[in-house]
Structure 1
């Protein structure tokens, strides 16, 4: 149910005269891929030639035998019943005077290959026909377009799918146009320019280690990521290679792909037998660190490389300190973001899932924007979320949401979980803070209102009593995968109703701010009253007279303190209880998906820096650095994904490339390095400077490329003082946090005496010296 404002996305300068054509030889999902082709005449190359193209399924396009562009997985992924992206390429370099040939290769892709896991798998989710639409203009005249005159035939890609992988028979590379095409009924108003950057390849990665298991070669690329492989082989015609993939080795050090579940995730290449042959898959991607190669027949593998893929190839932020494991944690987060930011923000890139879970995306959105330019990427995703929003206001658990199209296959409605649905308020707010984009707030505000009304309706009031049945109306994931410690005497965890009510307040309070920004004062006033009602009800329901929160767990205290839900009369007592909970857990993390991003920011906000330092640098499980100790190169889905004895925990739900817990990097930038965007001057026109000095980190430095230029900050401890160095681009000023003003000694060599309220740090380079006392 798209909102009217989304219709503006649909407009483009393209006047479509082409038809959507399907190869008549297509045998359906899971079968051999097809192509459509035509010829056209070019009489002059003096003007710009432009190809505009899209497809149902995935496509690659060739003109005169040369692939056009270097994009992967085009036309990309959206809610295809809402909009379909198209790409535009300048193609003069591919053309020749006289006769030219164009071929469009087509495969199942997200459009119709399996989506969802085996117990509830969907085929032909968006449709059952692959097809292409394209037109080539020269000097403003359409000289080639898809229509009924085109022909079709079979490709050497004998099968492909997002979870399946790809099979390729090089003996079939001579393309024969043996069939015609069918014109499909298609609403061309669904076509929109690609809303974000295309998927691109990063630099290739060579194996760092090779060994053999049961006669099969296993290679370690040293980095887990989303990628394809590129191989060079020679051998006899009909000989083949079968390559499958894994993220980890088992406790015996052997290739282990159990956590891929029922996803085949493999490549099979059959040789044509004509010297050195090169190949990489065209219509799929895999999540892996290890590859296993099985050879059949007379064949020799000359080389194999990993080709990482991502929609966000350019890093825009970095953080380093004197603890190598922390630096590796940041790199792991970058790799998990790259791996899971392929068209949509997915939970994982390897198993039969790869869905755009809203909860994962909302907790990570702030970190995502620090590490890469994610503005258009997240806006595109939000449009899918809005389209998938239910009539009752519930936001989907993931988007694009195939369950919406096949409700009969699922128990209940897969929408409406607090912490997940709140993506509709939290992600737009992060985009606004990071990029100063007010339009996305305006675009999402109607959906926010519907979501908040839905939340209120769940229990007809401020305290949400979730449905405990999966798929039931009002079901919530709570603090997903919150660790409990020793199962003989588990640590306390937050209850679903408390978690739901906390997020009820968080989203309502954000919506108040957003309504004010949009000049919607009537709505702001109503929401303000609602937020106050939730706040008062939360205190009444969950605080004891001694100031202890009902569940006495890390997530409850973290979210309550971070979002100012702790009343003054309970503040000191609740802070004491919070400290006890952390110390009693021996500084082990006790938070899941929604609590973890709040844990360290809450501790540093309260000035409990000793706790923050001990929790962050803990190297036991559960802990961020434990993963590093176990050799992780990306962020894990579960804190205990690999036990201390090397045992693999529950392979059925265990991803080793799952960015959610990497949300801690936002704390490194904003609380440790101390640079935060602010709501009244977003897009880094002004930044709050509030560094937290954690001695165990040694020297700290960060950088971030924002729209105004590069921001840099670093601090180093000098006996009883700290030197804080800054470089702010033109148009950006810093405001020193009030908590630091009394400890300022000098700024740019000048002694700071008297009142320091409102101290501004100008653009350019500055150095501020603080007293550690």
Structure 2
């Protein structure tokens, strides 16, 4: 039976508030048969769910495409709900019948349609003159009463803010998103969220209210306590559209008629925490009938609507909760709670006491060697929650406009006895769908995989941050490009990185240079390091590769090209990059004393990444039909490779840069000829033997290290590196109790002391890029570049000493891909799942063609196996969709 399932529009299930004028539809096929391929599809779009009046139909289209299908010719209009359904035909003639109905709803497509005004709070003359005010201040409340007549058919709120906001209607929270409108390049792009509030309205008197926080817009950012980087006053922008059954409409907007008062939040900052005085609560402030006569008038603020865009990525939400596991009395006599997991979010707690009693919660990632609460690595970030009780009954509280990175919390002022059940860790991050799972026979590697995933959870809070705890939490470009391929296995990160890459393009300099962090909040000199700025090219290409999304290449192509042309103008000649500031192999272990930069020559790194970005740009140009550019950049790439060889290699292929990272980059980026590749592989093995098979690579070399080994005949060495347990290695932090990835290989040393105070995050995902190798080489799940997005799948597991089995799963745009191998007595087994409407190339390592069985049958008798051949060291198979079990 053939079914169409999991319909999505722009990656999302039933999205509301889209401002995409040419939306794309994707679906999956479900079938118990093997070798199922779609031969045709038909899409219908209607305004009503019964499809009696179809507003657009594709007709029967002969095509295999089931991902990112554009609804060409459908002219969408603002604030309209569109239902759609799909049916498909297979190559065997099966017809799926119509799918279940899905929908998408547009938001405001034209910014001239907005009717609302921006409103804020008049504080003092200094603010009106544009002078920065105090970075820490009381959060304001804003409210408006309105009347609703009966027969509400539909109600939508469209909202944004300068700062961050929460909404309430009639005393209940609107939506389940946090830190809205999110962090973008605010001067160019400001997101609008859409909420369905139909069931929150009542006939008669109603009220809507908002609370504002400083957030990224106005609060301190980075490590020099700069605040008000985007503006010096908070503001709210909102429209409530009520559609009645009789066809009439009512619109409630932010304007001068709103009122404002003070909230119980006396201070709220992302880095420093929140102070809340429950005695200042105003019950019913967002409900009808509340007396706001003592409240002030709001100020109407001048703010352009031209920068408004609809929500692009998934919003931040409460994803899960963690129970406290241990109550600790430290050697210093402090009361500390251990949640057992380094996490990002906040603590919800219940406390009872007299009115006016103040309690505090401090947050930390680790305890020191003596078991005491350790906060020095937070630098200036206070990460402190202060709560003043209103008294009486037990009171439960959780913050609104701040988040912390922590495993441990220190309690101050809480009445005894402390009960663990009164404290819950609330995990927040962007609500990306989970797509990957990896397990193997080694429990330490499984913990490493856990740590990689929790590093993503902690640092994918609206932007890809470097760390979630200290006074930084910035979108470092280098970290993002190093980790993006791993992230694309773990979660559906396409909308997340689409938004972030648009901000990169918005903040990119006129000369094509790329800031170190996106959104850009550092000084004007902080831009364009090799391996960091290359995120402009690497990230869009990776999203295309993993999701088959040509549109991101089309959108970002100007940015990608501008970055390459920026590099081209920098060097002493246009084929080498040997000028400017570069981070180099950041935190490489072969660095000189008192420096963070590894020993690999920075010009070597810069030119290698130059060549790599040009190669990706050339491929992108070919994909989107920029044939002239594809030819031009192909020629440029060849000249860079020649100049690179002349500059850094002898005629016999010996590298002038004898470091692990230098060999790794040369091998991985494909910029070495055969002679140099052999020399580089041999040199890398020599260096590993010298270090007793321990890495010395930093941020630049580490993501590619094991790939360079496995791809060049040294898979056993890659496994040896993975499974090392002493410093430096991926498993060393695991043996020290890590539950996330560390910034430094020895963040905690063997004697329990710390690497440093100022740069020692215990939740820093860059070294988690080893996850890419676990999925792509150990499990062996990859995509063919010529049929990106896993339309044509490559299953090429590479077993090695130390593991007896490995199981990788990836929920791709087409469905679940699985590769599970295990060693048996004298042989191997491999179980593979290939989703419908795809094909796969499967490699059986060490197999002999004559001995291979599929579900106990010979390959000739196996349905779905299209071809098989013996190749060096393995058997290569071409198969259609389905589940297979090979043994040999």
Give the TM-score, by structure 1 length: 0.93
Q: Secondary structure at the match of 1:35?
A: strand
| Paired position in structure 1 for 2:338 | 220
* Map 1:87-236 → 2, pairs under 5 A: 87-118=193-224, 121-139=225-243, 141-174=249-282, 178-213=295-330, 214-236=332-354
Change (3 A) 1:259 1:54: same
Aligned equivalents of 2:195, 2:370: Cα separation in 1: 50
Q: Secondary structure at the match of 1:651?
A: coil
Which stretches in structure 1 are left out of the alignment for 5+ residues? 1-5, 404-409, 468-473
Aligned equivalents of 2:762, 2:799: Cα separation in 1: 31
| Deviation at residue 460 of structure 1 after TM alignment | 3.8
| Paired position in structure 1 for 2:449 | 330
2:716 to 606, 610, 617: 610
| Paired position in structure 2 for 1:406 | none
* Map 1:148-547 → 2, pairs under 5 A: 148-174=256-282, 178-213=295-330, 214-295=332-413, 303-403=422-522, 410=523, 413-462=525-574, 464-467=576-579, 474-484=580-590, 493-547=599-653
Aligned equivalents of 1:12, 1:654: Cα separation in 2: 45
Which whole-Å deviations, capped at 9, do the CAs of 1:274-311 have from their partners, x for residues lacking one? 31111100001000000001007899777111101010
Aligned equivalents of 1:754, 1:402: Cα separation in 2: 55
Which whole-Å deviations, capped at 9, do the CAs of 1:67-121 have from their partners, x for residues lacking one? 1111111111101111111111111222111111111001111110000103xx3
Change (3 A) 1:417 1:334: same
Name the Cα RMSD after superposition. Answer: 2.4
| Deviation at residue 551 of structure 1 after TM alignment | 1.7
* 2:823 is aligned with 1:710: no
Change (3 A) 1:244 1:464: farther
Q: Secondary structure at the match of 1:355?
A: coil
| Deviation at residue 341 of structure 1 after TM alignment | 0.4
Aligned equivalents of 2:309, 2:786: Cα separation in 1: 33
Higher mean C-alpha deviation, range 689-698 or range 98-107:
689-698
Conserved? CA contact 2:839–2:880, under 8 Å: yes
Which whole-Å deviations, capped at 9, do the CAs of 1:439-486 have from their partners, x for residues lacking one? 10011111111111111111143554545xxxxxx2111111111289
Conserved? CA contact 2:540–2:552, under 8 Å: yes
| Deviation at residue 195 of structure 1 after TM alignment | 0.5
Change (3 A) 1:690 1:352: same
| Paired position in structure 1 for 2:109 | 12
Aligned equivalents of 2:372, 2:307: Cα separation in 1: 48
| Paired position in structure 1 for 2:884 | 766
Aligned equivalents of 2:122, 2:611: Cα separation in 1: 55
* 2:689 is aligned with 1:593: no
Which whole-Å deviations, capped at 9, do the CAs of 1:690-724 have from their partners, x for residues lacking one? 11011311111011111111111111112332211
Conserved? CA contact 1:203–1:308, under 8 Å: yes
Q: Secondary structure at the match of 1:692?
A: coil
| Paired position in structure 2 for 1:407 | none
* 2:767 is aligned with 1:648: no
Conserved? CA contact 1:20–1:147, under 8 Å: yes
Q: Secondary structure at the match of 2:632?
A: helix
Aligned equivalents of 1:402, 1:491: Cα separation in 2: 23
1:693 to 789, 795, 799: 799
Conserved? CA contact 1:312–1:338, under 8 Å: no
| Deviation at residue 493 of structure 1 after TM alignment | 3.1
Q: Secondary structure at the match of 1:653?
A: coil
Q: Secondary structure at the match of 2:413?
A: strand
| Deviation at residue 136 of structure 1 after TM alignment | 1.0
| Deviation at residue 189 of structure 1 after TM alignment | 2.2
* 2:145 is aligned with 1:39: yes
* 2:179 is aligned with 1:60: no
* Map 1:704-743 → 2, pairs under 5 A: 704-737=810-843
Conserved? CA contact 2:516–2:528, under 8 Å: yes
| Paired position in structure 1 for 2:37 | none
Which whole-Å deviations, capped at 9, do the CAs of 1:304-323 have from their partners, x for residues lacking one? 11101010453210111110
1:673 to 779, 787, 803: 779
Q: Secondary structure at the match of 2:536?
A: helix
Which whole-Å deviations, capped at 9, do the CAs of 1:194-218 have from their partners, x for residues lacking one? 1011101122111111112444320
Change (3 A) 1:192 1:430: same
Conserved? CA contact 1:52–1:89, under 8 Å: yes
Aligned equivalents of 2:631, 2:734: Cα separation in 1: 48
| Deviation at residue 767 of structure 1 after TM alignment | 2.4
Aligned equivalents of 1:313, 1:234: Cα separation in 2: 37
| Paired position in structure 1 for 2:121 | 23
Change (3 A) 1:529 1:66: same
Aligned equivalents of 2:843, 2:442: Cα separation in 1: 26
Q: Secondary structure at the match of 2:802?
A: helix
| Deviation at residue 524 of structure 1 after TM alignment | 1.1
Structure ranking higher in helix proportion: 1
Aligned equivalents of 1:372, 1:131: Cα separation in 2: 33
Give the TM-score, by structure 2 length: 0.81
Q: Secondary structure at the match of 2:808?
A: strand
| Deviation at residue 492 of structure 1 after TM alignment | 8.2
Change (3 A) 1:583 1:211: same
